[in-house]
Amino acid sequence: MPEKISIEIPREVLLATRMAPEEIKQELAIHLYQLGKLSLGKAYEIAGVDIWTFQQLLGIRGIPIHYTLEDYQEDLATLRELGRI
């Protein structure tokens, strides 16, 4: 099982954004994906949604999907780690 870390977000930030922690995770994943810092597979994993929902979130924002050979290889490695292949 992969190691996890936690990020502390002050309650005032949650109140100011009027967002649930799950929404903040989605926004972080979308932003990092848009910057090219995360592969599609890692981004939807962090967002806590399935790939189709994540692609819809990207589409709503007009963010194109960039899926390289490296992304594919990372996704395969993730699937192996999860025991899905």
Half-sphere exposure of 39 (CA within 13 A, CB side): 14
Q: Average model confidence (pLDDT) for the chain?
A: 91
Using an 8 Å Cβ cutoff, are 23 and 48 in contact? no
- DSSP letters of 12-68? HHHHHHT--HHHHHHHHHHHHHHTTSS-HHHHHHHHTS-HHHHHHHHHHHTPPP---
What's the pLDDT tens digit per position in 35-76? Answer: 999 988 899 999 999 999 999 999 999 999 887 788 789 889
Q: Is the per-residue pLDDT at 1 higher than 70?
A: no
Per-domain boundaries in the chain = 11-81
- Helical pair 40-47 and 69-81, crossing angle rounded to 10 deg: 50
Residue of 48, 2, 55, 9 lying closest to 25 (CA atoms) = 48
